[in-house]
């Protein structure tokens, strides 16, 4: 699965994107956030308040209960501040 990060999520994790192999029990966006938090202090810091993290699955907004696709790209980012 390709993961892409933006704004302070990208800065805190320290990577713009990465490809990961997810365990079979990571089925939803919420599962993914929990799994990522275990990967190191940088992920823990970036995702310490999971409720503020916004998610897009294949470039469309998704909520934390959404199931993960078989493949594609998942983006994690803070609330948007465009306009």
Partner 1 sequence: MTSVCEPLVRVQAGDFDLATEARRLSDGRRDVGAIVSFTGLCRDEDGRLEALELEHYPGMAEAEIGRIADEAAQRWPLSGLTVIHRFGRIAPGENIVLVVAASAHRRAAFEAADFLMDYLKSRAPFWKKEHAAGETGAGWVEAKDRDQEDMKRWER
Does 18 engage in binding with partner 1 (CB under 8 A)? no
From residue 5, alpha-carbon distances to 24, 25, 32, 45, 75 in Å are 22, 22, 13, 14, 6
Does 49 engage in binding with partner 1 (CB under 8 A)? no
Among 21, 23, 60, 65, binds partner 1 (CB under 8 A): 60
Does 63 engage in binding with partner 1 (CB under 8 A)? no
Q: At closest approach, how far in Å is the CB of 29 from partner 1?
A: 16
Judged by beta carbon, residue 32 or residue 74, the one nearer partner 1 is: 74
Give the rounded distance of the alpha carbon of 81 from its chain centre. Answer: 18
DSSP E strand boundaries for 1-83? 2-5, 17-19, 54-57, 60-62, 73-77
Contacting residues toward partner 1, per CB under 8 A: 4, 6-8, 56, 59-61, 75, 77-83
């Amino acid at each position: 699965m390709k993961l892409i990060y933006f704004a302070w999520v990208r800065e805190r994790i320290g990577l713009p994107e990465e490809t990961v192999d997810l365990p079979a029990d990571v089925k939803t966006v919420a599962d993914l956030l929990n799994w990522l938090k275990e990967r190191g202090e940088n992920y823990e810091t970036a995702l310490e308040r999971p409720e503020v993290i916004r998610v897009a699955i294949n470039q469309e907004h998704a909520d934390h209960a959404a199931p993960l696709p078989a493949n594609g790209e998942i983006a994690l980012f803070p609330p948007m501040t465009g306009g």
